[in-house]
Amino acid sequence: MAKTKFDQQSAFDAIIGHNNTNVDNKRSKKDKSEEKRGVNFYLNSKDYEDLQKIAYINRTNVSQIIRDFIADYVNKHGEELAEYERLKPNG
């Protein structure tokens, strides 16, 4: 039986489940609203504990609750977003 040369990139791709080309293709097809950005902020410990309890009951997680809250907030403030678009400098 012949030994096969170890291909580190193939091993990595097998573990991750994709290769970089597929990731780039998927990203280019995504709508900007589907992209995610990491944000760090601090919550009062009691508020975070309460959010964890609510998430548990709703079978979700704190991150999803916060994402939903922010999406609702942005949707309710469409006038401000339109005003910003009207006022922002070109460029």
Tens digit of pLDDT for each residue in 30-55?
Answer: 677 678 889 999 999 999 999 999 99
DSSP H or E stretch at residue 71 = helix 62-76
* Per-residue tens of pLDDT for the chain, all 91 residues: 566 677 777 776 777 765 555 555 555 666 776 788 899 999 999 999 999 999 999 999 999 999 999 999 999 999 999 999 999 877 5
In a domain, 85, yes or no: yes
Domain count, the chain: 1
Residue 76 belongs to a domain: yes
**Is 39 inside a domain boundary?**
no
Q: Where are the alpha helices (DSSP H) in the chain?
A: 8-16, 20-29, 45-57, 62-76, 78-87
- Is 90 part of a structural domain of the chain? yes
Indicate whether 34 belongs to any domain: no
Q: Is residue 67 part of a domain?
A: yes
Expressed as residue numbers, the domain containing 73 is 61-91
Is position 83 within any domain? yes
Answer whether residue 91 is part of any domain.
yes
d(CA 91, CA 87) in angstroms, rounded, equals 12
The reported pLDDT for the residue numbered 19 is 52
